[in-house]
Amino acid sequence: MVSAPAVQATVDHSALAHNVRLLIQASAPAKVIAVLKANAYGHGAVPVARTVLAAGAAQIGVATLDEAFELRAGGIEAPIIAWLHAFDPSEAVAVFAEAVALGIELGVSTSTQLRAVAEAAMRADEPAVVAVKVDTGLNRGGFAREDWRKAFADLANAEAAGAVRVRAVFSHLANADRPEYRTNAEQASGLRDAVALARKAGLSPQLVHLANSPAVLTRPRALVDGVPAFNATRPGVAVYGLSPIAGRDFGLIPAMTLTARVGLVKRIQAGDGVSYGHDFVAPTDTTLALLPIGYADGLPRSLAGKFEVVIGGRRYPGVGRVCMDQVLVDLGPGRPRVREGDIATLFGSGKDGEQTVDDWAKAAGTINYEIVTQIRGRVRLQHINV
């Protein structure tokens, strides 16, 4: 028997579809590659993939091949690109060969990766579909500028030998959340230079992409002017209804709501300390409710005393330390109408007075991306409006 979940993250697929349609409109005429890395930012990769594709996304993007393999195993047949690879060299060819056989587009960032991909393609007896990642200023993954010319020459030779088919050239922005910051134009220009070198080497990439969520939604001039060259976008966090720029409302709808059942209600007296260290001491007689969620489930320990929950339409503050698997909220004096088994909403869209992921992020001194990707442990995902 499967019991009702004590802690649940509800994912609203109507919100996901709304967000994807908004991103498609903002990206036009470019195609949208919806980024579903990290288990679709904690929302559940396979069901989310079905929804975003049905809403019009042209392709799925993930970081690792394990993530891509999970999507294929879940029945997702649409194009998938995976771009972050770190293998034992003795295993790389076999892993890439599996990816080639499954039709997964491989982001390539180093000459070592290119050699392994080419060998894998020969083993799979079919060309590997490749997306070339170039570093245009983030100074993270991708071929360094001084290596572009040789990389494209090597790719052209591999393509001529039937080992690879170069489908895309792409890069990643460092300051997209500052739309008019100078490096956006510099990186756009750098990507255009890379594409020109690729074509000079005899390659004909179908797709060129640079814009992530903030770039899609703000359309910095550097990218608008480059639309003919950049014909795909890679939104991530915006797919899930979270603003990529703190304080900016783009009409997105948050898809995840986090709830927990009240596990215990108890009275304490003025002067009583609460939880480890007694960081909170009751100033008056009051009533506490225990919620079975803690930092092992994605409730940041840094939110101790900084968050509120909604139970029965009223807000109540969290008190005391956030423990590994439980936390307490102060229901106040008197006889609150809260009982064991009642549902407490920790965050959601905010439409019913609950806090949002952005509220948590601000209080915890982090970003909304981190909050949703950390929902884990005993939290059960429920998908609605699928």
List residues forming the annotated binding site for substrate.
Answer: 140, 324
Helix ranges, 323-365 (H)? 357-364
Instruction: Tell me whether residue 362 is one of the annotated catalytic residues.
Output: no
User: 174 and 167 in contact (C-beta within 8 Å)?
Assistant: no
**SS percent in the chain: helix, strand, coil, step 5:** 35, 25, 40
Residues 37, 133, 295, 316: which is the catalytic one? 37
CB of 232 within 8 A of CB of 58? yes
Q: What span, in angstroms and rounded, lies between the C-alpha atoms of 109 and 36?
A: 20
The C-alpha atoms of residue 200 and residue 44 are separated, in whole angstroms, by 41
Measured CA to CA, the distance from residue 51 to residue 14 in angstroms comes to: 9
Q: From CA 12, how far away is CA 20, in angstroms rounded?
A: 13
Considering 150, 200, 266, 276, which one is annotated as catalytic? 276
Residue 97: what residue type?
Answer: A
- CB-neighbour burial class of residue 298 (10 A; exposed 0-12, middle 13-18, buried 19+): buried
What lies within 8 Å, CB to CB, of 96 at 6+ separation is 65, 106, 116, 117, 119, 120, 121, 128
Token couple for 220: 């910095």
Would you list which residues are annotated within the binding site? 140, 324
Q: Helix, strand or coil for residue 68?
A: helix
SS3 of residue 301 by DSSP: helix
Q: Report, as residue numbers or ranges, the catalytic residues.
A: 37, 276
